[in-house]
Amino acid sequence: MPKLNGTENWKKWHHSMKLQLLSRRLWEHVEGVELPAKKDTETQTVYNERLATFRARDATAKALLASNTSHSIRQTLGALEPATAKEVYDHLKQHYEERGFDLFERVWTEFTTLTFNSKDDLEIFCYKHKHVMEELATIGFRIPEGVVGYQFVQFMSGRYPIWASIKRQQFGNCGDECPSIDELISGMARILRKEEKMKPSGREAALPTA
């Protein structure tokens, strides 16, 4: 689990921390779940026990957040003395989440440096490509669908030259109805499945060729 150092690793830290809190069913405390109210059917003793459990879980979430930050950030949190896990999270998000130009610069750099070569895993690349497109959209920067699709075809041209050539011709004649990025990725997924089926099994690979 990486420790939060600042804006430079907020994204990676936030992703890892959210997964850890979700796995422990503590994420709701970060989102700000309210103190449980006393039910009409329960005794004060039962309610006090339930309230104590809730506060213990919130304290656990709060400790996880704080302990996975750098020494200087923990010192800042200690001075603030946040009462709940949500207060810790809100402070960290306010000060270290990427915003404005820093966010745009990182996402744009990821987009412009995307590469795909013969050694890359096709499925992982498609995931990365889609993720970067979604991030660009969230900051209000939408690249025309046709440009995104054509760029994707160009990425694939090294490993799949025939497929890419066919798709380039389609883009040249498609007018306003060019293949969408989802259609292109689905097409590549079908190719990937065919490649997997054509791979020899371990036993077949071990058989002599002569």
Does 127 map to a domain? yes
Whether residue 104 contacts residue 139, with contact meaning beta carbons closer than 8 Å, is answered with yes
Q: What is the pLDDT of residue 1?
A: 79
Q: Which residues of the chain have pLDDT under 70?
A: 118, 200-210
Domain of residue 106 covers: 100-198
Whether residue 4 contacts residue 15, with contact meaning beta carbons closer than 8 Å, is answered with no
Of 35, 70, 96, the residue at which a domain comes to its end is 96
Does 204 map to a domain? no
Do 77 and 117 sit in the same domain of this protein? no
Q: What is the pLDDT of residue 108?
A: 82
Of 96, 120, 148, the residue at which a domain comes to its end is 96
Do 122 and 77 sit in the same domain of this protein? no
Instruction: Locate 156 and state its tokens.
Output: 């694939």
User: Which pTM was predicted?
Assistant: 0.53
Do 92 and 125 sit in the same domain of this protein? no
Of 45, 68, 96, the residue at which a domain comes to its end is 96
Do 39 and 107 sit in the same domain of this protein? no
Instruction: Locate 91 and state its tokens.
Output: 């402070």
Gap between the Cα atoms of 73 and 4, Å rounded: 8
Task: Give the CB-side neighbour count of residue 155, counting CA atoms within 13 A.
Answer: 24
Do 81 and 119 sit in the same domain of this protein? no
Do 133 and 147 sit in the same domain of this protein? yes
Instruction: Locate 137 and state its tokens.
Output: 């959209």
Does 89 map to a domain? yes
Do 90 and 104 sit in the same domain of this protein? no
Does 206 map to a domain? no
Does 205 map to a domain? no
Q: What is the pLDDT of residue 201?
A: 59
Q: What is the pLDDT of residue 89?
A: 92
Do 114 and 86 sit in the same domain of this protein? no
Q: What is the pLDDT of residue 82?
A: 82
Gap between the Cα atoms of 20 and 180, Å rounded: 35
Q: What is the pLDDT of residue 123?
A: 78
Q: What is the pLDDT of residue 29?
A: 93
Do 111 and 190 sit in the same domain of this protein? yes
Domain count, the chain: 2
